[in-house]
Amino acid sequence: MRVVLPSPLFSYSGGQREIEATSETLAQLMGVLDGRFPGMRHRIVDEQNRIRPHIRFFVNGDSATTLDHRLSADDEVLIVAALSGG
Amino acid sequence: MVSLLVGTRKGAFVYRGDTARKTWQVDGPHFLGSIVNHLVLDPRDGRTLLLAAKTGHLGPTVFRSTDGGKNWAEAKTPPAFKTVPSGEKGRAVDSVFWLTAGHVSEPDVWYAGTAPVGLFRSADGGATWAEVEGFNDRLYERIKDSVVNVPDGSLVHSILVHPEDPRRVYIGLSTGGVFESTDGGESWVPLNKGIEASFLPDGNAEFGHDPHLLAMHPLDPERLYQQNHCGIYRLDRPSVEWRRIGAHMPKEIGDIGFPVVLHPRDRECLWVFPMDGTDVWPRVSPGGRPAAYRSRDGGASWERQDRGMPERQAWWTVKRQAFCADARDPVGLYFGTTSGEIWSSTDEGASWSQISAHLPEIYSVVAAEV
């Protein structure tokens, strides 16, 4: 699946905006991202597995509010830094 | 040379002084856009920097530099509460607010205080952090009804390790009170007797008070000072009863404020920076005329020190980590303002000059010999 990262995470991804990954849930995807870009998960998901307040996830354009959201191979996952947090 | 480590709402800056502490070279911003609550130097090696950061979007973490801020490494395991089973309500760190280096006999130990209230310890120089369970579990369970439900209020600051005993630690909790541990954080005892708490229904409550900053004298660690939400206090251990030395401040100024700074060699000498705590609590300089106040007799009397500061229409104040002293003779004093200015005095507060302006809101200023 295609995963699109917001600019606040570029310091982890080395400037990469889009990556390819394989995961069955958003929770699993967070593990994949953190394995590839250590430290990234904690900045966008808290220790209670809640998506942080100013981060949003969209799967194929629909908002996903919990990490147990299921994913398919051809999904597009958008991680967005909300229009807030200033 | 004296350096000033400055944490702001939008990043960190390092100001490096000349030998006279008159001209300053700025290095930064570091972590532009990050909310930097605290940037501190490890006094044990004079080299390692730790920085507490988050951004408007991203969660809280800690960065470490061993080369004066050229390169930074993020903590592998930042301060975080334990994950509770699904369906239960667990706490999550919102900000790392305070960093304290451990005892000189424990060179890799650090403590971090967080919002909401949490105490964390690192035994590897800040790379990985673990909960101090005696605090986060046992003490929190006892006091949680006093520290929850306060918007923006509950956080851990003023982690003070006794220089003669690494197991003896004082701590300040905004909307919680002062606590002492004598067993390295396993157990904690409230230390709030004598402190006013006008916002609590029980004026004699054991905890729930609102210390803004604690300070322990480096040469006499039994002498503690506290700038509280309700006044300026002093405690001489082993006594457990604070005395309100702010009662001797001018009535029109009051004794409300955030910081308290101690003279490094004279335990009777301290500075505070009053703010307006009347009616709706404007939290600005009283009357728009900022000033430090110094006591040279342990709080029995106070003198205003404002020469060089704006004489009118200056509506800023100084937050709890944003006023500090160096160890030179005469002592240098430095503070950062909510309006992004840095001011200094090289004559122990007799006169002041502005080092810098136009920074973001300043959260912390730490003087360090680098």
CA-to-CA dists, residue B356 to B39, B272, B341, angstroms: 18, 21, 5
**Is the pLDDT confidence value at A86 over 80?**
no
Report the alpha-carbon distance of residue A42 to residue A44 in Å, rounded.
Answer: 6
- From B24's Cα to the closest Cα of chain A, the distance in A is 30
- From A69's Cα to the closest Cα of chain B, the distance in A is 15
The pLDDT score that the predictor gives to residue B167 is 98
* Contact across the interface for B56 and A54, Cβ inside 8 Å: yes
Tens of pLDDT, residue by residue over B331-354, are 999 999 999 999 999 999 999 999
What is the rounded average pLDDT of the residues B232-258? Answer: 98
The pLDDT score that the predictor gives to residue A82 is 83
- Chain A residues lying within 8 Å of B80, measured CB to CB: 42, 46-47
Look-up of token digits 């995963």: A3
* Contact across the interface for B59 and A82, Cβ inside 8 Å: no
Cα dihedral angle (B116, B119, B121, B127), rounded to 10 degrees? 10
Closest residue in B to A40 (Cα) is: B58
- CB of B92 within 8 Å of a chain A CB? The answer is yes
Q: How confident is the model at residue B87 (pLDDT cuts 50, 70, 90)?
A: confident
> Which DSSP string corresponds to B48-98?
-EEEEEE-SSS--EEEEESSTTSS-EE-SB-S-PPPPPTTS------EEEE
* Contact across the interface for A39 and B74, Cβ inside 8 Å: yes
* Contact across the interface for B91 and A48, Cβ inside 8 Å: yes
Mutate to test the interface with B, among A25, A42, A45, A52 (most CBs of B within 10 A): A42
The pLDDT score that the predictor gives to residue B68 is 86
Cα of B124 vs its chain's centroid, Å: 23
Among A50, A54, A85, whose Cβ lies nearest the Cβ of B92? A50
Tens of pLDDT, residue by residue over B7-55, are 999 999 999 999 999 999 999 999 999 999 999 999 999 999 999 999 9
Among B61, B86, B90, whose Cβ lies nearest the Cβ of A43? B61
Look-up of token digits 């006591």: B295
**Is the pLDDT confidence value at B330 over 80?**
yes
What pTM was computed for the model? Answer: 0.96
- CB of B73 within 8 Å of a chain A CB? The answer is no
What is the rounded average pLDDT of the residues B50-64? Answer: 96
List the structure tokens of B185: 């954080």
- CB of B32 within 8 Å of a chain A CB? The answer is no
- Residues 56-75, chain A, touching B (beta carbon < 8 A): none
Among A38, A43, A50, whose Cβ lies nearest the Cβ of B58? A43
Name the nearest CA neighbour of B67 among B32, B96, B30. Answer: B30
Phi, psi torsion values for B327, nearest 5 degrees: -110, 15
What is the rounded average pLDDT of the residues B134-140? Answer: 97
Percent of chain B with pLDDT over 70: 98
Phi, psi torsion values for B39, nearest 5 degrees: -130, 120
First to last CA, chain B: 6
Q: How confident is the model at residue B153 (pLDDT cuts 50, 70, 90)?
A: low
CA-to-CA dists, residue A62 to A20, A79, B52, B84, angstroms: 19, 12, 34, 28
Hey, which residues does B115 pair with through a beta bridge? Answer: B95
Across chain B, what does the average pLDDT equal? 96
- CB of B167 within 8 Å of a chain A CB? The answer is no
ipTM: 0.94
What single-letter DSSP state applies at residue A74? T
**Is the pLDDT confidence value at B241 over 70?**
yes
- Chain B residues lying within 8 Å of A45, measured CB to CB: 59
Tens of pLDDT, residue by residue over A39-83, are 999 999 999 999 999 999 999 999 999 999 999 999 999 999 987
Which residues, in sequence order, are CB contacts of B304 under 8 Å at separation 6+?
A: B250, B253, B291, B292, B293
- Residues 31-50, chain A, touching B (beta carbon < 8 A): 38-39, 42-50
The pLDDT score that the predictor gives to residue B148 is 61
- Chain A residues lying within 8 Å of B78, measured CB to CB: 42
